[in-house]
Amino acid sequence: MTRIAHHPAAQRIGYRCGRIARYCVGRVLDRLLPVAANTPLDQVREVRRVLLVRPNFRIGNTLIASPLVLALRRRFPGARLDYLSGDTTASLLEHLPVDAVHSVSRRFILRPWQFVALFVRLRRMHYDVAVEAGMGSFSGGLYTLLTGARYRIGVSGRANRFLNVRLAHPKTAHVYDSAVAFARLLGADCPDHPVYAISAEESARAAVILRDIGLMRDGAVQPFVGLFVGGHQSKRWPAPRWLDMARALGAAGARAVIFAGPEEGQGADRMRRDFGAAAVVVPPQPLRTFAALWSRAALVVTPDSGPMHLAAAFGVPTIAILQSEDSLKYRSRNPLDVVLMRAGIDEVVAAVTHHPRWDAVRVAGADSGRSEGRLVATR
């Protein structure tokens, strides 16, 4: 079942079915549910229970909303703060200042009674405030309504009919700034990057894996380049290019580690054979173990993906390989980040070998390996 759920064709079908369902539900609600009068934010008082609503199944979208946890803690000090998440990304919220995480699941389509039971349970919590964190998400707004919260806060847009405290939709060039702008509308501040916390146990588990693949010396991690071979549908980089690039980096003397996504899980053994001595291949890991490993990289190369946003949370320098202009609003933007648009192998290798971290990730005694490839775009 898990293999089917992660198959690209199944994801496309699920996405299209979701769009059709939202359209049909929207047409019905247009007739049955009028837009409520808007309540000014300064009238939201006596708040003891708050629910942050972002029921999304993508790592990136959940991480993009994560700074709002800190914003709501500051906006409603002393209140209970819970989070409504997608089940596949709920673990990203562990060790953040959240009292409880509730989750929706794609399996609810086949088990609707579990969907009903979830919202019966949420309504019994008697939330004073539910905050729709999807910046106008239809499904997020609908779930916000179903919680029965006294105040349902969000930005104006497709979710208007579900909200009774509607704020101006912030116009920002980058998605990380949307959370900051929304937090300020609420009267709080938050970081302008994703937030993620690694426990001591998770860090220790990552150290054991790194030791087993030969990347620990005298208790210290040997700096390495992490390559994420995965991504969502059209955002992915073709698999043969990863192989050629890993070989080129290996020839230049880089310590390269391949991290496979869920879709590549069944092919990890083949990838290990294909990459040979060019790179170490780490098979798919539980999400939080992967994150702890990813945080140890000195430099990462990734398409527009959840791991790109994890790197932003950790401050790990990133070379982002983007396939469309739409991805630019999600781009990595830390000082040492590099953005490449529709790059070829030469461009990516050049970005790695010219990066300030190159000397750290290059095996001692190896040739400099500095490629003369052209950088398509940089920070």
**Under 8 Å between Cβ of 102 and 122:** yes
Question: For residue 5, which amino acid is it?
Answer: A
Tell me which residue of 53, 37, 263, 234 sits closest to 140, measured CA to CA. Answer: 53
Strand partners, 303: 321
Q: How far apart are the C-alpha atoms of 179 and 175, rounded to whole Å?
A: 7
pLDDT at 102: 97
pLDDT digits (tens, 9 = 90+) for 191-212: 999 999 999 999 999 999 999 9
**pLDDT at residue 114, as a whole number:** 94
* DSSP state letter for 193: S
Q: What's the burial of 105, exposed, middle or buried (CB within 10 Å: 0-12/13-18/19+)?
A: middle
Domain boundaries, the chain: 31-186, 200-361
Give dist(CA 261, CA 304) in Å, integer.
13
What is the pLDDT at residue 243? Answer: 86
Please, what is the average pLDDT of the chain?
87
3-state secondary structure 70-121: HHHHHHCCCCEEEEEEECCCHHHHCCCCCCEEEEECHHHHCCHHHHHHHHHH
pLDDT at 37: 87
Q: Are strands 165-167 and 216-217 parallel, antiparallel or unpaired?
A: unpaired
Sign of the C-alpha dihedral, residues 175, 178, 180, 181? positive
Return the CATH number of 31-186, one of 3.40.50.2000, 3.40.640.10, 3.40.1390.10, 3.40.50.150: 3.40.50.2000
Please give the average per-residue pLDDT across 290-307, as a whole number.
Answer: 96
pLDDT of residue 118: 96
Q: What are the pLDDT digits (tens) for 274-284?
A: 666 667 888 78
pLDDT for 236: 81
Task: Give the pLDDT band of residue 378 (cuts 50, 70, 90).
Answer: very low
**Cβ proximity of 263 and 293 under 8 Å:** no
Contact 300, 317 (CB under 8 A): yes
pTM: 0.86
Give CA separation, 56 vs 138, 174, 195, in Å.
12, 19, 16
User: For 200-361, which CATH superfamily applies?
Assistant: Glycogen Phosphorylase B; (3.40.50.2000)
φ, ψ for residue 106, nearest 5 deg = -65, -25
Q: Would the CATH topology of 31-186 be identical to that of 200-361?
A: yes
Q: DSSP 3-state assignment of 361? A: helix
CA 67 centroid distance within chain? 12
Give 376's pLDDT tier (boundaries 50, 70, 90). very low
Q: Which pair of structure tokens corresponds to residue 45?
A: 């008082």
Q: How far is CA 72 from CA 52, 82, 120, 223, 306, in A?
A: 8, 10, 24, 37, 23
What's the average model confidence in pLDDT over 261-270? 60
Strand partners, 257: 226, 280
Average pLDDT over residues 15-40: 70
User: Regarding beta strands 80-86 and 49-54, do their DSSP bridges make them parallel or antiparallel, or are they unpaired?
Assistant: parallel
